[in-house]
Amino acid sequence: MSHTAHIRSHRKPRRSASKIAMRAGVAGGVLGTLAVTGASASSANAAEPVTQTLELPALTADLSSQVAQSADATQQTAANYALQAARDAAAAKAAKQAKTDLAEAKKEAEAKRKAAAAAARKAAAERASRSTARTTLAAATGSSSSSSSSTATGSAAAVIAFVKAQIGDAYVSGGTGPNSWDCSGLVQTAFKQIGVSLPRVSQDQSTAGTQVGLDNLQPGDILYWGSSGSAYHVAVYVGNGMFVGAQNPSTGVAEKPLSYDPPTGAVRVL
C-alpha cells in the first residue's frame, strides 16, 4: 500500500453536466428579464420629462419668532407715527381755536370798555345837567317871580285841577285812566279835557309846544326828563315850584317839588 493511500484528496468534486446546464439556463433567464426591464425603464424615462424639485430649508422656531417680532415692531412703529400725527393735528387745531377765542375775547372786552366809557360820560353829563337845573330852579324859586308862583287861570287851571284830582292813583305802564296811569297817559288825558290833542308818548310830548326855560315856568307847562325828542318822562308844572306826574309803581301819581327830580326842560302848549 502506498504511503499516501490514507490521505484524503483536496480536489473539488466534479459537478455533473446536467447541473451546470440548468444553472446556466437560470442565469440566462434572469439576465434576459433584467435586460427587458431595463429597456422598458429606459423607454419610459425617455417618454416622460424629468422634474427636479428644490426643497427650501424649513424655518426654525427661533427664526419664525424673530420674523413675527419684527412685523409687530413695524406695525407698532406705524401706529405710533399715526397717533403722533393725530396728536399734532389736534394740537394745531386747538392752538388755532385758542387764537380765535382770544381775538374774540379782546374784541368783546374792547367793546365793553368803550360802552362803559360812553355810559360814564353820559352819566357825568346828566349829573352836570341836573346840577345846573337845580341851581336854576333854586334861583327861580327864591326870586318868587310872578310867572312861576301865580295862581293858574283858565285852561291851565283846568289841567292842573285834573292832574291833582288823580293824586294817589296807581302807576301802570301804558295806563290811560281812569284809576291807573303812566306819565304820558296822564298828561295826554289832562290836556284832552280842555280840547288840546297831544301825542301819546313822552318823546313826542317833549316837542309838542314851544320850548321854555326852567327859570320861566308857568302853571300848565309840560316838564320833561331826558332830551327834547327823546324824553323818557313827563309831568305837569302846577306852580310854586311843584309838579304832578305819574312817577313810578312805588309812588303812583304824586305831587313833588322840582328839587325832588329836576327836569331837563319844558314846553308850553297853552
**Is 264 a domain residue?**
yes
Q: Which residue has the higher pLDDT, 80 or 186?
A: 186
Mind listing the pLDDT tens digit for each residue in 151-207? 678 999 999 999 999 999 999 999 999 999 999 999 999 999 999 999 999 999 999
Q: How far apart are CA 244 and CA 189, in angstroms?
A: 13
**Is 35 a domain residue?**
no
Domain CATH for 205:
3.90.1720.10
Mind listing the pLDDT tens digit for each residue in 149-166? 456 789 999 999 999 999
Which range is least confidently modeled, 9-13, 79-83, 198-202, 240-244?
9-13
CB 162 within 8 A of CB 193: yes
Query: How many CB atoms within 10 Å of residue 80?
Result: 10
Q: How far apart are CA 168 and CA 178, in angstroms?
A: 12
Q: Which CA distances in Å does 60 have to 46, 57, 67, 87, 269?
A: 40, 9, 11, 41, 116
**Is 158 a domain residue?**
yes
Residue 19 has pLDDT above 70, yes or no: no
Mind listing the pLDDT tens digit for each residue in 32-48? 444 444 444 444 444 55
Query: For position 234, what pLDDT does the model report?
Result: 98
What is the signed CA dihedral for 139, 142, 148, 152, rounded to 10 degrees? Answer: 160
**Is 98 a domain residue?**
no
Q: What is the pLDDT averaged over residues 120-138? A: 64
Query: For position 52, what pLDDT does the model report?
Result: 57
Q: Structural domain of residue 181, as residue ranges?
A: 131-268
Residue 21 has pLDDT above 50, yes or no: no
Structural domain count, the chain: 1
* 262: Cβ contacts below 8 Å, ≥ 6 apart: 130, 133, 134, 137, 214
What is the signed CA dihedral for 203, 209, 214, 218, rounded to 10 degrees? Answer: -130
